[in-house]
Amino acid sequence: MISQYEIQDSALSQISLALRQHEPPTGILPLLTPWLTPTQIQEQLISHINDKLNLSAGYKESVWRSIIRYIDASSAPNDGSEKPEPCELLVELYAECMCANMMKMAQNSRAALPTADAGVDTLVQYTSTPSSTFDSGLPPIQVNEQRNVFAQGGCTGHRTWEAGIALADFLLESVEVRADSSCSKSSSTMILRPGQFRHIIELGAGTGLVGLVATINLQPKKITLTDGDAGVIAALDKTIILNEPLLAASAREIQKLHPSLPRPEIVTRTLWWNQDKIDENDATGLPDLILAADVTYDPTIIEPLIKCIDYVFNLVQTRAGGSGPHVLVSATERSVITLARFKTLCVENGFTYNVVRSYQAPILSNFFYFNASMSPKIIIFELTKDTTQV
């Protein structure tokens, strides 16, 4: 039985996911406001955020500020219950963060300021595995993102977009690491297992969230993360180094359950769709899973994208036979016309597109927080071909 002075676990889970992903504090206030009264509940919430979540001082200061401003602007409820007041712990922590950040600014005052186009990196944390996968549990994926920059130098790969989070969520929903897994797959039409794929390639990898989730949970022999922007690839390399302890730990945990699986090799490279070729003589073998997320936003790049997928698909099918590689594309429905263009080009190139999962706000996930204002409909397609036809 939940005490009247205890926050529900489901609420704490959503709050934790949102804060680890560095969502704007004003945007997640609706998650926080039910737990600001009575004081005992507010203290529990503030303690959880401060003690359990590894957040930067700058971000915590903005969270504390948003809560205090909300409380100060609120009026007494009509039902006669008490008006929320900032608890002593909240005020103390806010003051500590302000002082720490002011000292940091003073120390850095002589440092060169970033240009307006450069953006500012924020360390964002994402769920790495389902909590029931490993007995010891694993830390989150960490990614340095430019959360406030939509595009830098014409490139959109410096932050994680909602379609990428959706594809990562779908992979976590679908994976069964344990042979005796009793996890419900009611929301997923697929079951994916470690070692099922020998070589995974991601097109338009961006920050690397999808690729890292695939590496950690599917444990292919090799994964190739590609993007058309050299700056994104450089950032990807740093992200892989940053997550080295997690990648090593996940490989050890997987090997306890599947001793024959080697630790995955992770390769990054630039790849211009329909221009560059993949390594057709890769010793690991050609890709048997193609992943792509939020790569259909611009109608001018959809044709090169489909041509690239078609090239890899046909190459694999010709060399290896069978049905060709699995293909999963996660698309945000920003424009009906753009999505229709994607579907038309799929058909023109011999693909059948099947919807394996769709997400529509409000989206509730066990693994990630989806900002309702930033999450229009997201569709995950599986692309297949009838390889029996000549």
Dist CA 261 CA 344 (whole Å): 39
Q: Specify the pLDDT at position 116.
A: 40
Q: Specify the pLDDT at position 109.
A: 61
Dist CA 209 CA 124 (whole Å): 11
H-state helical runs in the chain: 9-20, 29-32, 39-52, 57-73, 88-107, 162-174, 209-218, 230-242, 244-257, 299-320, 336-348
pLDDT at 148 over 90: no
Dist CA 341 CA 345 (whole Å): 6
pLDDT at 269 over 70: yes
In order of 78, 97, 100, 101, 216, the CA distances from 55 in angstroms are 36, 11, 14, 13, 23
**What are the structure tokens assigned to 340, written together?**
């229709």
Beta carbons of 271 and 226 less than 8 angstroms apart: yes
pLDDT at 61 over 50: yes
Is 122-384 assigned to CATH 3.40.50.150?
A: yes
pLDDT at 279 over 70: yes
pLDDT digits (tens, 9 = 90+) for 300-338: 999 999 999 999 999 999 888 778 999 999 999 988 899
Dist CA 354 CA 22 (whole Å): 33
pLDDT at 180 over 70: no
Mean pLDDT of the chain: 87
pLDDT at 185 over 50: no
The CA R_g of the chain, rounded to the nearest whole Å, is: 23
Beta carbons of 41 and 5 less than 8 angstroms apart: yes
Q: Specify the pLDDT at position 102.
A: 84
What is the distance in angstroms between the CA of the first residue and the CA of the last residue of the chain? 64
Give residue limits of the domains in the chain. 9-107, 122-384
Tell me the pTM: 0.88
Q: Which residue from 140, 116, 115, 143 is spatially nearest to 127, judged by alpha carbons? A: 140
Q: Name the band, by pLDDT with cuts 50, 70 and 90, for residue 192.
A: very high
Of 34-48, 118-132, 188-202, 248-262, give the lowest mean pLDDT range: 118-132
Dist CA 85 CA 42 (whole Å): 9
Beta carbons of 75 and 83 less than 8 angstroms apart: yes
pLDDT at 112 over 70: no
Of 92-96, 114-118, 264-268, 330-334, give the lowest mean pLDDT range: 114-118
Dist CA 161 CA 359 (whole Å): 14
Q: Which residue from 103, 87, 76 is spatially nearest to 49, judged by alpha carbons? A: 87
Beta carbons of 330 and 357 less than 8 angstroms apart: no
Residue 341 exposed, middle or buried by CB count within 10 Å (0-12, 13-18, 19+): middle
**What are the structure tokens assigned to 249, written together?**
């730990």
Within 10 angstroms of residue 102's Cβ, the number of other Cβ atoms is 11
H-state helical runs in 158-287: 162-174, 209-218, 230-242, 244-257
Q: Specify the pLDDT at position 63.
A: 95
